[in-house]
Amino acid sequence: MKLNLTATGKPQELILAYLQENASDVLAEKINNGVRITKDGKTLINKKTLNGFMKFAEGEARKLAEKGANSACVEDSVVYGWAIHYFEEDGIEGKLYNEDGTEYAPPKPVQKTTAPTVPYTPPKPKPEPQLSLFDMLGTQKKEEPAPADIPDQPDEEDDEDDEPTEEEIAEVMEREQEEQQTAPPLPPVQPRPSEWYERYLSVKAKYADSILFYRLGDFYEIFGNDAGITADVLDLTLTGRDCGLKERVPMTGVPFHAAEAYITKLVSHGYKVTIAEQIGGELREKTVEPSAEELNVDEETGEVLPVEEMRKFDGDIEEPRTPIVQPLPPDDGDDDLPPLDTDAYDPEALSVLDELFGDMIILR
């Protein structure tokens, strides 16, 4: 299937030629027609270009430099692997289009306007109406003096306006605390991993002692602690992937057509590798582990060391030189033997040898 990509310059032409030869039908469909995503409450079409990949590759190269790479040179296989990952990963945004084919423009932020505050002016009191003569006569009849022997009664309304006492406040607070303690806490909502990541975890549980290469599309992807190991041993870029959890899961990846070289290197360092991929609707698994000749066991610690580390370790040790002990020739009256040189030996050791052998040996 021909890829709908435009290359400008020699580097982009090499990337396009590699994608044209190695992209699967699923990846070619993504490149030509884009992928539907949801953003800002809209369904958009995410299409990627070679110009976008060049910016992505520049960022990956900067990560390698920050990691402490020995040089600025990046192998072709690594760059091609970046290209497959860039066009395969749906989470990487390229150029966004609306469903009608027009280019998507993000909405402008709405600036909130605050209404000017108007100072409150209380209304003026209304004048009381003037009483007529009949009104004044009626009020005089209603007003009767209270008997002198009746004590003043406290106003019930005044009692309602009184503030609560400290004892009442403490009682209310104590009651609220008891209600909070007796109420069971709500269980936290746990995020659920995506369906494909649940399948990965089930396979990883079966091969807990292996580094799991799990095939997704045109890549073998490695997650979690396995990703950290492969990033150090194979000098891969450690990224992350959204697996439906609260945080992104650490991830590395290698192209499936170049995976054998990476697996061989891991095995040579003493790691067991398990490969899992979907073939014909069935998940197949294969484990590769170091042979007995490739491993050495430290007798003191029990640690398994690969051959490369053992050779490096042995090369740092200089074997001690064994002194040459020559027997004393029979006494034939020859006094031409050189004098005994004791500068290279320990005096205590020489005294012990002298007591044991006397004049039977000569140390040189």
Q: Which residue ranges in the chain fall short of pLDDT 50?
A: 315-325, 327-328
Q: Read off the pLDDT of residues 49-61 as tens digits, 9 standing for 90 and up.
A: 888 888 888 888 8
What's the whole-model pTM score?
0.38
pLDDT recorded at residue 62: 83
Given a contact cutoff of 8 angstroms between Cβ atoms, the answer to whether 269 and 263 are in contact is no
User: Considering only CA atoms, which of 286, 265, 266 is closest in space to residue 277?
Assistant: 286
H/E stretch holding 254: strand 249-255
Per-residue burial over 98-107, b if 16 or more Cβ lie within 10 Å, else e, is: eeeeeeeeee
How far is C-alpha 186 from the chain's CA centre?
A: 29
pLDDT recorded at residue 304: 54
Sign of the alpha-carbon dihedral angle for 22, 27, 33, 34: negative
Q: Read off the pLDDT of residues 266-302 as tens digits, 9 standing for 90 and up.
A: 999 999 999 998 887 788 888 988 876 555 555 566 5
Distance (Å, whole) CA 241 – CA 11: 27
Given a contact cutoff of 8 angstroms between Cβ atoms, the answer to whether 31 and 23 are in contact is yes
Distance (Å, whole) CA 56 – CA 358: 81
pLDDT recorded at residue 320: 42
